[in-house]
Amino acid sequence: MRVPRRHRLTPLARLVVAALASVATLAACGQRVPGTPIAAEPPAGDEAGPPPERATAPPGPLGGTAAPGPGSCLDSQRSTFAPCEAPHDIEITRAGQLPPGLPTDYPDEQTMLRAALPPCRAALAGYLDSPDGDATRLQAWAFWPNRDRWARGDRWLLCAATELGPDGRPVSRTGSVRGALAGDGFDAFQLCTAGSPSREQQLRTVSCDQPHLGEALPGVLNLGAATDPMPDQRAMNTAAREHCTRALADYLGTASRGDVFPAWRMPGVQDWAQGYTDVTCYAEIARPVTARLRGIGSAPLPG
């Protein structure tokens, strides 16, 4: 089995929205396609490289009048909060405070991400009623005070959910995503990739009815918490291989296909520290298909 080298994925574009407190500004971080190190079967060989840093968007200003709470929706194009029934691209999942213990001086970005992303990812899982967000287009975002507000003593943390388009930007939608992944909700947000999840240096998401080689599978594998020691690569691969092989068979309805195989993406060191402590499994397909493979069994691949 070959373990492809680790790699950096492209960062998301800056999110600049106006809507919170009239003199406050926030730092925003957008999440990319989850996971950076990857593994797959059946390729052969053995190579690995240094762990990457997780790409993030730089800070952007946010201003306005009302403090939002969970379930508040934001239209970043109009810079206003709006009912979730109206078009919006950001939905607040948690409003609270940053964890204690941060420096008095304004922390660097990696320190802020390690503090902000784990609680925001946990908030997203609770909000979606499922831990499978990393296998979907729904991602956790985090906002925190800028340098000036930090110096004045602000330590708030605002967590949000956004649906990302193929360009990595939030897409406008109507309706709340609260509980969106409960029951059969996964299919509406499933992550499909134009390229190979096991080989591509940059993964591009596409609609699952467009030609694609990868389909993220429900049932991400949790490996621990950001505060736990990170397992070594061999241990993660061993756990991922067993879990993803079983997840793929459940997804396809068969374990005997030769044209679809399990692939997975697992965390690097920076990912782990920021709360990305799970493995996302993929169905990797021998040729592009234009329909989901869930329940395909032994039938021919769709065109």
User: Model confidence over 171-184: pLDDT tens digits?
Assistant: 999 999 999 999 88
Dump pLDDT digits (tens) for 202-245. 888 999 999 999 999 999 999 999 999 999 999 999 999 999 99
pLDDT higher than 50, residue 33 = no
Residue 55 included in any domain: yes
Residue 144 · residue 157 · CB < 8 Å: yes
- 201 domain residue, yes or no: yes
Q: Is residue 175 part of a domain?
A: yes
Answer yes or no: are the C-beta atoms of 12 and 57 closer than 8 Å: yes
In a domain, 70, yes or no: yes
- Domains identified in the chain, total number: 1
Query: What is the side-by-side order of every strand in the sheet holding 26-29?
Result: 26-29, 138-145, 156-163, 90-97, 73-75, 80-82
Contact call for residues 168 and 184 (beta carbons, < 8 A): no
33, part of any domain: yes
Residue 299 lies in a domain: no
- Omega before 87 within 30 of 0, i.e. cis: no
In one-letter notation, the amino acid at residue 56 is T
Q: Give the pLDDT confidence of 116-137 residue by residue, as tens digits.
A: 999 999 999 999 999 999 999 9
Asked if residue 35 belongs to a domain, the reply is yes
Determine the structural domain holding residue 205 and report its residue range. Answer: 26-289
- pTM value is 0.79
Do 128 and 116 contact (CB within 8 A), yes or no? Answer: no
- Tell me if 12 is assigned to some domain: no
pLDDT tens for 61-94 read 343 334 578 889 988 888 788 789 999 999 999 9
Judge whether residue 23 has pLDDT over 50: no
